[in-house]
Amino acid sequence: MSIKYSENKKTFSLNTASATYQLKIGNLGYVKHLYYGDTICDEDMAYLIRRYDRGFSGNPYDSLKERTFSLDAQPQEFTTQQQGDFRINSIEVRNADGSFSFNGRYLSHRIYQGAFTLNGLPTAFATENDTVDTLELVLEDAVSKVQVTLLYSVFEEAEIIMRAARVHNAGDKMIHLERIMSFNIDFLNGKDMDLISLPGRYGQERQVERQPMTHHVHRIRSGRGISSHQQNPFVALAGRTTNEDYGTCYGFALMYSGSFTAEAELDQYDQLRLVMGINDSMFNYPVAPGEDFDTPAVLMTYSHQGLTGMSHNYHKFYRTNLNKSKFVRDVRRPVLINTWEAAFFTFDDVKLVEIARAARDMGVEMMVMDDGWYGKRDDDNSGLGDWYVNENKIKCGLTELVRQINDLGMKFGIWFEPEMVSEDSDLYRAHPDWVMEIPGRHAVRSRNQLVLDVGRKEVQDYLIERVNSILDSANIYYVKWDINRAITDLWSNALPGDRQGEVSHRYVLGLYRILDGIVKTHPDIMFEGCAGGGGRFDTAMLTYFTQYWSSDNTKPLDNLKLHYGSSFLYPVCSMGAHVSEASPMVPFETKAAIAMCGTFGYELDATHMKKKEIRACKKMSDLYHKYYDLNFFGDYYRLSDPFEPVNLVAWESVAEDKSEALVTVITVGLTVNGPQEYIKLKGLDPDRMYRMDYDGRELVLSGSALMNGGIPIPREVPDFTSFIYHLRAVK
641 contacts: CB under 8 Å, gap ≥ 6: 564
HSE-CB at 483 with a 13 A cutoff on CA atoms is 26
Burial zone of 290 (CB within 10 Å; 0-12 exposed, 13-18 middle, 19+ buried): exposed
Q: How are beta strands 450-451 and 420-421 bridged, if at all?
A: antiparallel
Q: How many Å apart are CA 222 and CA 209, to the nearest integer?
A: 16
CB 408 within 8 A of CB 360: yes
Give the dihedral sign, CA 353/358/363/367: negative
Residue whose C-alpha is closest to residue 711's, from 674, 671, 673, 684? 684
Q: How many Å apart are CA 19 and CA 668, to the nearest integer?
A: 39
Burial zone of 10 (CB within 10 Å; 0-12 exposed, 13-18 middle, 19+ buried): middle
- The DSSP-derived string for 109-153 is EEEEES----SSS------TT--EEEEEEEEEETTT-EEEEEEEE
Q: How many Å apart are CA 579 and CA 601, to the nearest integer?
A: 6
Measured CA distances, 692 to 111, 651, 652 (Å): 51, 16, 14
Measured CA distances, 721 to 54, 588, 606, 640, 718 (Å): 62, 10, 24, 16, 6
Residue whose C-alpha is closest to residue 562's, from 198, 252, 241? 198
The active-site residue, picked from 130, 482, 538, 635, is: 482
The active-site residue, picked from 552, 641, 687, 693, is: 552
Alpha carbon of residue 403 to chain centroid: 35
552 is catalytic: yes
693 is catalytic: no
Q: Could you list the active site residues?
A: 482, 552
